[in-house]
């Protein structure tokens, strides 16, 4: 009973920490997107922002968020898998942004917020399941 409680408490702590780390990564992602969108196509800017945010979330996830790392002894493999999940998240991110901007006529900032919600859950669930 105590073990079940402890596991549940750790899961909530990790999710909360991942959420906070993701907010920081999103702020950086968002800033890069909005700055670059002034000079390059919005999907190029979205990709650059996403990649910058992904680097931040990787560092925070492996150093501060997750207590258990399945591939800690194989950091290269861990980074590759983390990146592959991120690439799938990038495809989801850019697809949502594209649909929101081109078909819904939403402002870029609103499109990014919609993409961030879906991408956050997608990335968290896969990374928690496969890596941490």
pLDDT of residue 118: 92
Inform me whether the pLDDT recorded for 71 exceeds 90: no
Residues 85-111 as b or e (16 or more Cβ within 10 Å = b):
bbeebbebbbebbeebbeeeebebeeb
Range of the domain at 116: 2-130
Q: How confident is the model at residue 34 (pLDDT cuts 50, 70, 90)?
A: very high
Number of domains in the chain: 1
Structure tokens belonging to residue 88? 């799938």
* From 9-13, 29-33, 39-43, 113-117, the region with the lowest mean pLDDT: 9-13
Structure tokens belonging to residue 65? 């968020």
Measured distance CA(1)–CA(14) in Å, rounded: 20
Which ranges in 37-74 belong to alpha helices (H)? 42-60
The helix-helix angle for 75-102 and 42-60 (nearest 10°) equals 150
pLDDT of residue 108: 98
Inform me whether the pLDDT recorded for 126 exceeds 90: yes
pTM of the predicted structure, to 2 decimals: 0.86
pLDDT of residue 69: 85
């Amino acid at each position: 009973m105590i073990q079940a409680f402890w596991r549940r408490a750790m899961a909530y702590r990790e999710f909360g920490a991942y959420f906070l780390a993701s907010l920081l990564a999103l702020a950086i992602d968002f800033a890069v997107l909005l700055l670059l969108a002034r000079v390059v196509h919005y999907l190029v800017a979205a990709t650059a922002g996403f990649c910058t945010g992904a680097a931040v979330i990787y560092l925070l996830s492996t150093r501060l968020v997750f207590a258990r790392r399945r591939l800690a002894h194989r950091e290269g493999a861990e980074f590759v898998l983390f990146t592959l999940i991120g690439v799938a998240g990038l495809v989801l991110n850019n697809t949502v942004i594209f649909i929101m901007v081109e078909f819904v006529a939403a402002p870029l900032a609103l499109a990014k917020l919609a993409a961030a919600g879906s991408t956050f859950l997608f990335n968290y669930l896969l990374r928690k399941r496969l890596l941490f």
